[in-house]
Structures are given as C-alpha cells and as structure tokens.
A = this chain, B = another copy of it.
Amino acid sequence: MKHFLSLADLPDFDATVQLAKKLKESPFAFEDQGKRKTIGLLFFNPSLRTRLSTQKAAQNLGLNTLVMNFSNEAWALEFEDGTEMRGIRSEHVREAAAVVSQYCDIVAIRAFASLTDKENDEAEIVLKSFQKYASIPVINMESATNHPLQALADALTLEENKTIHRPKVVLTWAPHPKALPHAVGNSFVNMMHYQDADFVIANPEGYDLDPRITKQITVLNNQEEALKNADFVYAKNWCSYTQYGHILRTDDEWMLSPEKMKLTNNAKFMHCLPIRRNIVVSDGVLDNPNSLVIEQANNRTYAAQAVLKTLLDNG
C-alpha cells in the first residue's frame, strides 16, 4: 500500500480489520515501530474524533506527531496549475506537499467537499494534489467524497457486534438542517461491498447516492420497509447528489425514533458522529444500550493504527 486514500488501497480488507481487532487487544504491541518517524496531520476542516484518534493511533505506534490547522496556521494554498498567483493564495500545493514530505514520513489530510462544485469535489483536488506532489504516503482523514478511516472503524464495529453470519444492515438517510457531504455514506457503501450481509440503503427520492458507488445495491424510498428485521441500522444525512449540494426537504419524517427501531430485529444503532439529537435521531435511540456510536468512535483509533502499521510495514 503506497497511500490510503480509499478502502480500495488496502492490500487485504479482511486482514486489515483483523489487524485492527488485534491492535485493540494489544495497542502497545508495536510501540517502537514508529520510533524516529513522524506523521503530519493537516486539517483544512474541524475535527474531534479524527484529530484525537489518529494522534492516539500514532502515539500507540511510537510515531511523533505534528498537527497543523492548515487554514489558519499556514498559508492559503493554490491547487490550480499554471495560474498567476496574484490573489490570497500564497503557496502552491506543489511546494507545500513536497516540503511537508521533508519533515514527515507520513502525511494525513482532512479536506471536506465544497458542495458547490461537484466536478471539483469529485476530482478530490486537495487529496489528489498531495498524493501527486508528496513523496511520502498520504492518508485520507475525510476527503470530499470518502472517509475510509470511518468505514474501517465501522467494519470493526460490525465484526465485533454481529451475532449471525449474514446480518441485515440498513444505511438510512436522516434529516439535517445543513447540507452535508456524501463522504461517510460513500465509504460505508464501499465498505459493505466487502461484507457478507443483506445490505439495503433507504433514502427519500432525490437523495440517491452516486450510482457508480451504490452499484447493484437495493435502494428503497420507504424507510419503514427497509428497517424491517434489520440487525444494524446506520443513520446518516447527506445532501442531494443529483441536485448537488441542495437540501430537498426539511420535514422530520425520516428522523429515526425508538418506534421505528421496533420494526427491526432489535437492531444495533450506528452513526459516525457528530450527531444532532432529535433531528437525525431522537434521544431514545442514542441513549439505548443498542447504540454503538461510542464504540465506533473508539474503533477509530484501531482503524487508524492498522492503516499506519500497514504503511510502516511497507516503509
């Protein structure tokens, strides 16, 4: 594995989940592997779980960490080639990526979707530019269209909590007052391609995810039908993909409630967090023992640690 930009970069998905599981049991088993090496964490957007869990994972492996809030601590970056840099962007990513590569052995980057320019978002300008101009491995800490560290943590959470061989897993859209990216939804779907599961996506009309990602997966526009007999329910909002960046409805019909959860097979509840209570789901779902959201957050550390260890094994 040269970079970790998406789950597809993993040499062996199942082995990585097992590695994450092993690292959760023995977080310090390889605490000298990263010694004398440095990871740079570059944030273009806010972060709580990713910031803390990736640092924690790095420390568990003995890596030095350098954290930067790129937007306000460094220089505004230019990503376009051939442009006359006359505006507010005072450094080109060609230099920034090459320079960071002098000080770090691995660089991890968070850069959200704009949700205003679909083509640009799908081109993953920030992440791909760093990949192109950095001479070190690049890790995706949530990009415009992908959040593979979250999906890997979710896979570990499914692995730990499934009680039957082929569970029914439902990814359901849920309401939100702001237009949110598709990254988590996309990566969860990508991850489910590796699972032996009865997987269904539920979303209102107009909210279908990119069909190149969902492929043959069943998409229902009826949430209650989808929830029937589910073993796992993953709730997540995203804005419209076809009417890119738009919010098409503001009602609470799709909010997940304890009543709706009764349709399931006593399903475990999942969400990547942060979550808006009583908008995305009602309190009763989150505060129920069946909620796995905190364990998902915990598993972020071991997902990141598995990715870091795999990259260190290569180097």
Contacts and interface: CB of A to CB of B under 8 A. Distances in A.
Interface stretch (A123-131, A200-208, A269-277): A269-277
Nearest to A252: B84
B102 A277 contact: no
Contacts of A53: 102-103
B46 A74 contact: yes
A49 interface: yes
Interface string A46-66: 111101110110010000101
A212 interface: no
Given A103-B53, A297-B102, A84 B278 contact: yes
A301 interface: yes
A26 B222 CA distance: 64
A90 B51 CA distance: 17
8 nearest A-B residue pairs (beta carbon): A91-B274, A85-B276, A102-B298, A48-B74, A52-B103, A84-B278, A99-B297, A98-B294
Interface in A53-94: 53, 55-56, 59, 64, 66, 68-69, 72-75, 78, 81-87, 90-92, 94
A177 interface: yes
A122 interface: no
A263 interface: no
A95 B273 contact: yes
Label chain A's interface by main secondary structure: mixed
Interface in A235-270: none
Contacts of A68: 48, 51-52
A74 B103 contact: no
B85 A278 contact: yes
A36 interface: yes
A293 interface: yes
B73 A52 contact: no
A104 interface: yes
A96 interface: yes
Given A95-B294, A301-B103, A86 B51 contact: no
Contacts of A64: 56, 59
B38 A91 contact: no
A194 interface: no
14 contacts: A28-B36, A38-B59, A49-B99, A52-B66, A82-B283, A83-B278, A84-B277, A85-B279, A91-B274, A92-B275, A95-B294, A96-B274, A102-B294, A103-B301
A56 B52 contact: no
Contacts of A28: 36
Contacts of A48: 68, 74-75, 91, 96, 99-100
A241 to B, nearest CB: 21
A31 B62 CA distance: 15
Given A38-B56, A102-B298, A95 B43 contact: no
A34 interface: no
A31 B38 CA distance: 14
